Amino acid sequence: MLNAVISAVKQAAKLAINAHYTIDSKGGSANVVTSCDIAIQNLLRTKLLEIIPDSGFLGEESDLVELNAEYIWIIDPIDGTMNFTRGIRDSAISVALHKNGEAVLGVVYNFFTDDVYYAERGKGAFHNGKPIHVSDRPFSDGLLCTAMSLYKKEYAQLCFDIISDLYAKSNDIRRLGACAMELCYIAEGKCDLYFELRVYAWDCAAGELILREAGAHIYRFFAEDFYKKPLPIIAANSEENLAILYETVKKHFEKHNYRG
């Protein structure tokens, strides 16, 4: 099944490569959708339903949500749409498969660079066919991938406070604008730490499985709402580093009275 999913993703990616597209706003200049997002999601839904008939579906660019099936596909047709529209090469198609609420397959494909990351539960994580694993760096030498609650800027100060605290303890920060790619970079040891305040299921579902299979440790705050709303997520290359992230984020949540 994995090969069929990767094939479907690469076929859908052709709709974005050298494509002429339109850009629309989804409620603000920072939140955009292109005609490529829509076309890719529609094609993927068709192809993935051929792989598992009667499966459910959750995609970023659709009001059609089907969560009452044993298997659910979770799709971000272009993670990093703003990057895509500006020719920044950190953009990807993200596809995850959940079975009874548990991730069993994840594929992240950067169509700019032809890099495919993937994992199946219990089988390890891979980048272009080669096994990948998280780094062994301590927190003080870690690169932190993060963001500032772009679509809800009223939470920016909370994010700044957390990031400032974590920056003082780590090596440096990275803000790539594509959650799926950031998680894959942590999975293969390029980066080491992750915090973001508002992550949707389609942003992280594939990357989460790839991370776990690469040896990372992940925690979702308010996890019972995973399919329904954006959640704070932290991830790290080690259990010890995750604990530092958790205590730091929790401290600032309490200070700001943040409850998701």
Mean of per-residue pLDDT scores for the chain: 94
**pLDDT for position 26:** 66
For the stretch 154-166, pLDDT in tens is 999 999 999 999 9
Residue 21: the pLDDT is: 85
Region 179-185: mean pLDDT is 97
* The predicted structure's pLDDT at residue 65: 78
pLDDT at 20: 82
- Spatial CA neighbour of 134 closest among 208, 214, 195: 214
What pLDDT does 228 receive?
84
Encoded tokens for 207: 């990357």
Annotate 198-226 with b (16+ C-beta within 10 A) or e (fewer): bbbbbbbbbbbbbbbbbbbbbebbeeeeb
pLDDT in tens, 217-249: 999 998 777 888 899 999 999 999 999 999 999
> Does 78 have pLDDT greater than 60?
yes
In angstroms, rounded to a whole number, what is the distance separating the alpha carbons of residues 102 and 105? 9
Asked whether residue 29 carries a pLDDT value surpassing 60, the answer given is no
